[in-house]
Structure 1
Amino acid sequence: MLMFNITIFMPPLLTLIGIPGLESVQFWIGIPFCAMYIIAIFGNFLLLVIIKSERSLHEPMYIFLAMLGATDIALSTCILPKMLGIFWFHLPEIYFEACLLQMWLIHTFQCIESGILLAMALDRYVAICDPLRHATIFTHQCVTQIGVGVTLRAAIFVAPCIILIKCRLKSYRTTVVSHSYCEHMAIVKLAVEDVRINKSYGLFVAFSILGFDIIFITLSYIRIFITVFNLPQKEARLKAFNTCIAHICVFLEFYLLAFFSFFTHRFGFHIPPYIHILLSNLYLLVPPLLNPIVYGVKTKQIRDRVFKIFYFKDPS
């Protein structure tokens, strides 16, 4: 039997198969994913409404939190509707350009979220370690500039990934993407051409942004903990530490999922593919789900406002 190598030049459509190996149960997997998405959208939208309407929350920490909530809404919306279309309605096709756009949006919003977490860590560092200068450093103009800078940094750093795919990768072995969304490495692996530059730049973006941010976040919290433990009054130590607990939970949740997903995807060769895909999906869905819950539970101003909106009696 003769075997022919079929090469597809600039395919107009790609096919996302969802979660390889779990196609028969994707319908049921979509149910908890949809529930997570609905809760994430509702929680983050409620967070935005509370911060906007409550003047006492118009402070840098809560403005950064609002940015984080808006980013979480955008990030989860980039993947879930199409993913549910695959799981529930058997609509796996996606235009090649739309796939590249989805890829750019997903990785851009991931980098924006990392930048916002860094900004929140620096805000807490100044507030605790140099409180007298906090108001003069983190002005509303400074916060706006940080938001714009974080967004531009993410968009500019991620854009070459898309340009390299569009300009350098012309021929593809297949149009079937073994993923539930347009992930960078999943698309690159389809190409016939040498993809080392594409892979290298993807690694560069991951480590130059996420790696840079996590280093400075860690250094900020080391300095914060040293300052907190040196405070003379126990009540002051507890108050300072309590303001950081929610941030620490969000940092750990985002970066642990990110690096666990990253390393299993690239080095876990003996792990079944569906584990990689599930981890990637959870990495994009769990932080938007948990962030408003964590801040709602740990931040008294937000918690009180939620009780007021729903006419609950604050048990505290």
Structure 2
Amino acid sequence: MIGYQKRRKPTLIGSSECIKEVKRKIEEASSSDMPVLIRGETGVGKEITAKLIHLASGRKRGPFVVVSCPGLLPSLARSELFGHERGAYTGADKRRIGKFEEAEGGTIFLDEIADLNPEVQAMVLRAVEKGEIERLGGKERIKVNVRVIAATNKDIEKLTEDDYFRKDLYYRLIGHVIHIPPLRKRKEDIPELIDHFISLYSLGKPPVISKEVLNELLSYDWPGNVRELEMMIRRICEVHGGRRVGIEELRDMGLWREEGLRVKMPSQFNLKEEVKRLKRKLIMLALSETRGNISKAAEMLGISRQGLSKMMKNLGIKKGGNDVDGGGNVVTI
């Protein structure tokens, strides 16, 4: 797997052949200064892979600057990446350097680069090709010594064919290409991942994952990849430290999608109880996502705050931050 150990040290966890191949390519890319393109679905660990390349490269003593391209407003992307001069636009009362200058002597990681607009793509091309940038509102061409590592979860070849992504920039970025497989393609790494995250997030005694839960985790396809597994194990550690965790605990914590379970229909099925269980699970999940904020949880669920409070009372969910689950255990919202 790809994840953080304690003290935020980036590492690769896993013994599958595909992860061994990723490690080999990281080592190969680290001995070079060419651009790198990292491919993979959301949640597989593209940023950590980029950080590993940086830390093993000759630029390891330089900065590692992360840019989330989808988070850049089109109107501000140029200023964020390349900086601006004083007076470049209303409110620009002083000169400001951009991310490329911040990364001088190190590495800039352009996460989801396919989301950049064509104008900014052209400027990134100049930075990669000629090692120079131009601040917004400026005329001076500034030399930069920066290695570019980019990542995408999209079919970037299709985007180049459809003229949504510049072909010349694409060909500049593929000095090294690393594909990180989704978790469903390397399920043999899941037990190691679970052990890693338990050691990372357990504050006291670790939870005990039952065999039935492990089998479910191995059979699930993980659309959110390693990030989804990490968040699940983290929540389990917070709520069930030192205790056994079975399927019912996952359901009651709202950590498992019903369609994700491979549990056979019981011979006697109580629809009323199952509806109650589902309501309870969704409310617990909303409260967990909003850190116990009832108003925000109600908005997330599409009901009124009063309606949610009434439903919580009927289902035995306490408002005060602690809640009693179906097995009588106290959990934190």
- Fold conserved between structures, TM > 0.5: no
Q: Would you tell me which structure has more helix in proportion to its own residues? A: 1
Greater relative contact order (Cα < 8 A, sep 6+):
1
Greater per-residue strand proportion: 2
Larger Rg over CA atoms? 2
